[in-house]
Each structure stands twice: as structure tokens, then as C-alpha cells.
Amino acid sequence: MAPETAKAAAYDASSIQVLEGLSAVRKRPGMYIGSTDTRGLHHLIYEVVDNSIDEVLAGACTEISVTLHTDGTCTVVDNGRGIPVEVHPKYNRPALEIVLTVLHAGSKFDRNTYKVSGGLHGVGLHVVNALSEWFEVRVRRNGHEYFQRYERGAPVAPLKVLGDAEGTGTEQRFKPDPAVFETVVFEKETVERRLKELSFLNPQVAIRFRDERDGTDLTFHHAGGIVEFVQDLNASLTTLFPTPVFLHAKRDTTDIEVALQYNDGYNETLLAFVNNINTVDGGTHVIGLRSALTRTLNDYARQRGFLKGEKEALGGEDVREGLACVLSVKVLEPQFEGQTKAKLGNSEVKGQVESAVNEKLAEFLEEHPAISQALISKAVQASQAREAARKARELTRRKGLLEGGGLPGKLADCHSRDPSACELFIVEGDSAGGTAKQGRDREFQAVLPLRGKILNVEKARLDKMLQSEGIRTLITAIGIGIGDELDLAKLRYHKIIMMTDADVDGSHIRTLLLTLFYRKMPELIGEGHVYIAQAPLYRVQRGQKFAYAYTDAERDRWVTEYGGKGVTIQRYKGLGEMNAEQLRDTTMKPGQRSLLRVTVDDAQRANELFTILMGEEVEPRRAYIQAHAVEVSNLDI
């Protein structure tokens, strides 16, 4: 076809519709992928991979490979049936083009699998295409290889046949558009984590991950599915029984899978997925699971005489102490709720999960009396510790330490009583604390100095945790309480800002704080209230001119700008080396400072590292340190 003809043909009614659809996505990308920050950027990969996973769920695909290239592009290859290329009757164009420009579930070409619609994945390949500078797709099908290229979502040429080909499959390569995203750099760890997760959730598929920027080449294939997932979660811990409990049930059209295993620690790790989406904010499926656990363990304990009297009962937190659990449900029409669409809303799912887990877990307990006894005795101990903690709390309360007006003495509170305007700076050490108190705006900025390291909550049960003054002070200052009694509405400051030195001790304290928040106040992180202050590393000065640098590269740029000669560089080894004015201008003052918001991902990563570095087991710790030798070489363990 002559180019003029192709062009003329391209401007018919349906392509106007396509262009309108495209510009809607490009105008409001957030509506489709949640945000245009690094989180939204990674949604592009998730979306493309999810489409290949749909082929796995249809039983038509066994291998997926994901590659991050040095030019900032990503390639996803699968050996599924290939995106259909036949002409779509309604649009009079190849189905492939429809899938990549308008539809996310073309009726005739729809695959009969559980869809994730409503969540942030499942938005459709056309969204990825529209937000990519370019997108190239190759399909092997019907004995041919087909190819088409798009730029900013629009095809640059019709679908063409490259030649003959054996087998079937789809290959997609795309370059996120820097005009849309705040950052276009894919994070290896984020992608790796998601692919590993998908391989546990879909044991039928092998997922290869390559990062050409550093030579990474990994293959994830976990035939044991979520049972292996739980074993992985407990890998560095001592477990109460060797093989995780696994249960699988169907209620109506909902498919329910649970794997769980207890360790001798005090924390709960519960990962919940709906149609392969990680519902970090929980929802009805999680509520159903928790209530079944509490109910079934209480029933069993009562029948066997482990609980005395009618009044004694195991609480939810007691039966979840030391629990590692993966819940994976498949729901036909999931409703996702909340800011990040990471919470399941379908009310019917609560009862479905609850009844399935009640039934199967009761069976398991009957059949494994020795394990059951170990579980119950751990939960009973947890319950006694909780009771002891409650008494200790009453005592301190009566002493007037924890109640309103009885705020910790070291806290320099702010004047404002409007939590949404208030900020709490948690500062390392009394000396930096003093500087921060001088540099703050007392109207809305409060300062809490921490003396030394806080207790590692990873290794302590509730009663011991509350004996630690540092922890109590933090809990009181923040105001929302912890665990099952947490009430986010009582939050006293909407920004909780960790301000520590940029050295090993500083990062250790930050990790301890993150562990406390992640384990005991997860909503605080989930709702985006936790931040890390970014203090400068250098002050570069020449004559009257000076600037602050937050990285080595930035320092070098200032040195060049100031002309090299006569420039002095001051290196800040800690916050304490700055005076109040400097700390205010560089790190505390809104509009001038830069704060890093902590995501659940960050906290999860910090915690994982922590479980390994601080855990009892020597072997995983050694393996981890060897694998990450460069990063942790100066970490004091």
C-alpha cells in the first residue's frame, strides 16, 4: 500500500475513537495506573506480565521471561497462544491492534480466566502502550511471526507479517514515556520481588528475570506454590512444625488457598492476594481468615481443656503470634477499595473464606494432635503476656505517664492541635534533638529526641516491648496505640519524620524504627504518614556564596560551578554538626527540605533484611552477607 493510502485509511471513525482513548489515558495517567511516580512506573511491567499470567491461568503458557535493558526498556516474552491477530469484526482491524489501543477485554477474544479488573492491574495493555514512548509487539501464531510498532500509543504502521515461525507466543518491548513519568528507571528489586511472588502464586509457570544493567539472570519456579512461599517467609526462623499446613477449597465461584506455618518468633506475617494482586491493605478475605483462625483455635483449645472457665479465651493477636501465612483467593468480580486499590471489598468473600478455613483447619487440628498442642500452648503464652502487658499499662497509666497531659517529658510538642498540620521529628540523640528544637517551627513541628537505640521489637514479646521506655515514649507521642487496639483516628501528627545521621548507627536506628512501625503500626506506613528527612552531606562554600549538597555528585557540580579554586567543602558527619539555622533551612523547613515517604515495600524490605541480620539462624545471615557483601560491609551486626 502506498503511504498516502495507508494514511487516508487510518483516519476513519474507529481510529478517531482510538486517538481520543489514547489522549484520555495520557491526560490522566493517574486514573489508570494510580500515580506517575515509581509505583505507577512499575505498574506498567505488572500489567504486561499479568496478561501473560492470564495465559498461564488458561493453561496455555509455561514460560515467561522479563528483561530490563540498558536503554531503559523492558521486554516480556511468553509462550502462550499469542495475542490474536485475526480481524476483529466490530472494528475491522486486527484484534492485536484493538487490544493495544482500546480494549482490555474484547468479548470475542476474551480468555476465560479470573480477571483483576478494578484493581490497578487489569487496566489493559492499551494503557501501557499509551504511556510508552514506543511499544513493539511480536506475535507467533498460525505459523507466522507478526510485528507492529506503536509510538505514544498510536500504531506507526499496520500489522505486518515478518515471516514464517514455529510455535506460539507473544513478545512485548516498551519504553516508558519520560514525558509522563517522574522517573523512568526500573528498580531491579521491585521487579524481582513481584516476579518471585508471581512464581509462588502460579506454580505452573517458570519466570526468568534478567537485568542487563548488572548481569542478573534468575529463574523462579516454585512447583510447591504457596507452601513454598511460606517456607521462604520462615526460611531464617525456627518453625514449630516442619511442613506448612495447606488448604484448598471452593465456595461458590470463589477459589481459596491458604498455607500457614508458625515460627517461634512473635510477629505475624500475612500476605494476602486476590487474583494474584497483593492486597496490602487487607479486606474481607483477610477478615474472614483471621476470624476463622481465632474461632477454630479457641474451639479446639476449649474442647481439649487448655482453656479454663468460660471467660478465658485466646485473642486474635494471640493466635497470630509467630504466624507466617499466605492467603490466595480467586474472585470472579473483585471490588478493590481504598486510595491504592489494595483492599478487597466484596462482602460475600468474608464468609466464604471463614467457612472454608474453619472446616479445613479443624480437620487439620484433629489429625495432628502434637502440632495442635504446640500451637495452642504458644497462643496461651501469648495471651498471658498480653495480660501482663495490660496490667503494666494500667499501672503506668495510673502513674499518669501515658494519659493526655502526661506526654513524655522529652517531647517538645507543637502548639497546633490540628493533627493534619502537625509533624513529629524523631531525632537521634539529645544533642541533635536540641538543635532540632531550636530550628523547628514550634507552631506545627514537634521534636522527640531518642537516646541511643530503641529495642528491637522483632525479638520481643508485647510485655517486654512495653517495658522499654523508648518504645513507650514513641507510642505515647504518636498516639494511635498498637496492634489490635490501634486507632489511626488518634494520630497526633500526620507526618512522622525520622531524622537520623547518615552513618551506620543512623541507618540502624532508622531500621529499628521502621520495624516498630511495620510490625506494630502498619497502617501508619500504609496511609503514608512515615517519612525520612534528607539531611545534606556537604556544605560547599566560596566567599559569600554557599550551597548544600545531598550527594557526592551534587557536591562535585557545585565545586565546578564555583570555579574549583578557593572552594571549601565541609562534610557533615552527623546532624549535630549543623547549627539550628542550617538544620532548619536544609532539612526541616517545608518548601526547602526534601522528605522521602516510606512505602510498605520499603518497610517490608527493611524488615526482611532485619529478620535475616538479627535473627537467630546463622546460615541465612552468612549467605545474605556474602550475597550483599558490598552494601553491608560496614554494618555492625
- Spatial distance between the Cα atoms of 607 and 614, rounded to a whole number of angstroms: 10
Residue range at the interface with ligand 0RA (CB under 6 A); choices 21-29, 48-56, 196-204, 617-625: 48-56
Task: Give the residue numbers marked as catalytic.
Answer: 428, 501, 503, 505
Q: Does 149 bind ligand 0RA (CB under 6 A)?
A: no
Q: Does 51 bind ligand 0RA (CB under 6 A)?
A: yes
Shortest reach from residue 112's CB to ligand 0RA, in Å: 10
Burial 150-175 (b: 16+ CB within 10 A, else e): bebbbbeeebeeeeebeebbbbbbbb
Among 29, 34, 40, 84, binds ligand 0RA (CB under 6 A): 84
Among 36, 46, 55, 473, binds ligand 0RA (CB under 6 A): 55
Residue with Cβ nearer ligand 0RA (170 or 298): 170
Among 69, 111, 149, 221, binds ligand 0RA (CB under 6 A): 111
Residue with Cβ nearer ligand 0RA (106 or 620): 106
Shortest reach from residue 287's CB to ligand 0RA, in Å: 34
Residue with Cβ nearer ligand 0RA (76 or 402): 76
Q: Does 83 bind ligand 0RA (CB under 6 A)?
A: yes
Among 36, 52, 190, 582, binds ligand 0RA (CB under 6 A): 52
Determine if residue 439 is left, alpha or beta; phi over 0 gives left, psi from -120 to 50 gives alpha, anything else beta.
alpha
The grid cell for 343 is 483492599
Q: Does 328 bind ligand 0RA (CB under 6 A)?
A: no
H or E element: which one contains 343? Answer: strand 343-344
Residue range at the interface with ligand 0RA (CB under 6 A); choices 77-85, 192-200, 512-520, 524-532: 77-85
Q: Does 81 bind ligand 0RA (CB under 6 A)?
A: yes
Residue with Cβ nearer ligand 0RA (38 or 51): 51
Residue with Cβ nearer ligand 0RA (169 or 433): 169
Phi, psi of 159 (to 5 degrees): -55, 135
Residue range at the interface with ligand 0RA (CB under 6 A); choices 34-42, 78-86, 363-371, 379-387: 78-86
State how far the alpha carbon of 126 is from the alpha carbons of 21, 105, 217, 544, 559, in Å: 9, 11, 29, 54, 46
Shortest reach from residue 105's CB to ligand 0RA, in Å: 9
Residues 448-487 as x/- pattern, contact with ligand 0RA by CB under 6 A: ----------------------------------------
Q: Does 104 bind ligand 0RA (CB under 6 A)?
A: no
Q: Is 394 within 8 Å of 538 (Cβ atoms)?
A: no
Shortest reach from residue 239's CB to ligand 0RA, in Å: 38
Q: Does 80 bind ligand 0RA (CB under 6 A)?
A: yes
Shortest reach from residue 122's CB to ligand 0RA, in Å: 12
Residue with Cβ nearer ligand 0RA (57 or 375): 57
State how far the alpha carbon of 596 is from the alpha carbons of 299, 567, 587, in Å: 46, 30, 11
Helix (H, G, I), strand (E, B) or coil at 439: helix
DSSP H helices, 212-324, are 225-233, 284-303, 316-319
Residue range at the interface with ligand 0RA (CB under 6 A); choices 35-43, 49-57, 439-447, 583-591: 49-57
Among 72, 109, 421, 554, binds ligand 0RA (CB under 6 A): 109
Residue with Cβ nearer ligand 0RA (109 or 550): 109
Residues 2-41 as x/- pattern, contact with ligand 0RA by CB under 6 A: ----------------------------------------
- Spatial distance between the Cα atoms of 327 and 247, rounded to a whole number of angstroms: 10
Residue in this structure with the C-alpha cell 562534610, named with its chain if needed: 571
The site for ligand 0RA, by CB under 6 A, has a size of 12
Burial 212-235 (b: 16+ CB within 10 A, else e): eeeeeeeebbbebbbbbbbbbbbb
Phi, psi of 262 (to 5 degrees): -95, 145
Q: Kindly write down the DSSP assignment for every residue of 386-403, as one continuous string.
A: HHHHHHHHHHHHHTTSSS
How would you class 545 by CB atoms within 10 Å of its CB: exposed for 0-12, middle for 13-18, buried for 19 or more? exposed
- Spatial distance between the Cα atoms of 561 and 545, rounded to a whole number of angstroms: 11
Shortest reach from residue 81's CB to ligand 0RA, in Å: 4
Among 18, 32, 65, 78, binds ligand 0RA (CB under 6 A): 78
Shortest reach from residue 155's CB to ligand 0RA, in Å: 17
Residue in this structure with the C-alpha cell 510477629, named with its chain if needed: 267
Residue with Cβ nearer ligand 0RA (105 or 596): 105
Which residues partner with 428 through β-bridges?
450
Q: Which of residues 166-185 bind ligand 0RA (CB under 6 A)?
A: 170
Shortest reach from residue 140's CB to ligand 0RA, in Å: 10
CA-wise closest residue to 447 among 511, 482, 496, 514: 496
- Spatial distance between the Cα atoms of 465 and 452, rounded to a whole number of angstroms: 16
Q: Is 365 within 8 Å of 372 (Cβ atoms)?
A: yes
The grid cell for 609 is 533484611
Binding site for ligand 0RA (CB under 6 A): 51-52, 55, 78, 80-84, 109, 111, 170
